Amino acid sequence: MRCIVVDGKAYSRAGNSIYVPTEFWGDLPDTTCLDGELWMGRGKFQNCVSITKRHAAPISEWNKVTYMIFDSPKTAGGIEAHLAHARSIVAQANAPKLRVITTERILATALVDIDRRMKIKKEEGAGGIMLCHPTNAFKKGRVSDLLKVKHVEEIDAVVIGYTEGEGQHEGAIGALKVELSSDRSKKFKVGGGALVTLRGS
């Protein structure tokens, strides 16, 4: 679960507060700005969410979570300088559940390097990899020098209907109702983060 720490307070990617026990951060300075993910292990995303969404989860539950840090956005320089600064802060924080990513970083000079790494990560059960420029300074928003590459699996289906959107999506399509092209008896809904390409019959 994405977690951004600004001035000692934690927020989700959408900007919602995450109520983390103060003991979790140890002696982390109140002026700290970090970016990372609250993580319990592959395949345990929902377990992690159930803890981090609660307003008063005890530290015994939070001790099952690790904050994996991959950036300190307010630090000058590129990603290597950011990670070095984060490591320096964490080393003094006396907080065993804070970790800065230090392994499996490679220099990719061609698409074959990315494809090879993606194959390895998929076999390990990871959702994808991050690509970043090693020296460019941090920029807000979506940028071309910081990209998340995710595994993509394609399947053909026929659209047979849709559901209405709710809440902020009211008045729009909530999800598409589809059935597999290869087996019309299998029907399901497609929505959320799925990438849908529509083709005419």
pLDDT per residue of the chain (201 residues) written in tens, 0 to 9: 889 999 888 998 888 899 999 899 999 988 889 999 998 988 888 888 888 888 888 899 999 999 999 888 888 887 788 888 999 999 999 899 999 986 566 777 777 777 887 887 777 777 777 777 767 666 666 666 667 777 676 778 888 888 888 777 787 888 888 888 888 888 888 875 555 566 665
Q: What are the start-end ranges of the H helices in 75-186?
A: 79-93, 111-124
Q: What's the distance, CA 49 to chain centroid?
A: 12
Nearest partner of 93 among 157, 154, 26, 11, judged by Cα: 26
Specify the residue for token string 């929505």. Answer: 191
The two tokens of residue 91 are: 């080393």
Global pTM value: 0.62
